Amino acid sequence: MMGRTLRSPGHLALMAALKQARLNAGLTQTELAGRLERPQSFVAKYENGERKVEVVEFVQIVRAIGCDGNAILRGIARAEEETD
């Protein structure tokens, strides 16, 4: 059964993983936003859970950070499984 996803365990795991990946890469929100050609508020809003990240955006974000998107997805899956 699919419920709401905003602030779900998977969404919280995604927010944390993307923020940690950005920090691990040594990037500020402004620097990442520049790579994405988006405003800094775009990064802030998905990191703070104010907006969801679409699949295509996820691919663009992990490429801009240079991190392993598959590892992030596995972490989200684990977070969701723990709530079942």
Q: So what's the pLDDT on residue 79?
A: 87
pTM of the model: 0.89
Overall size of the chain counted in residues: 84
Residue 3 lies in a domain: no
26-62 per-position pLDDT tens digit: 999 999 999 999 999 999 999 999 999 999 999 999 9
Classify residue 2: in a domain, yes or no: no
In a domain, 21, yes or no: yes
Q: What is the pLDDT of residue 3?
A: 55
C-alpha distances in Å from residue 82, one per residue of 17, 18, 55: 17, 20, 22
Q: Which of 7, 10, 25, 28 is nearest to 73 (CA)?
A: 10
Domain that holds residue 59: 9-81
Radius of gyration of the chain (CA): 12
pLDDT in tens, 1-26: 445 677 788 889 999 999 999 999 99
CATH (domain of 17): 1.10.260.40
State the total domains in the chain.
Answer: 1
Given this model, what pLDDT does residue 82 score?
Answer: 81
Q: What tokens appear for 53 in the block?
A: 């990240």
Classify residue 35: in a domain, yes or no: yes
Residue 55 in any domain: the answer is: yes
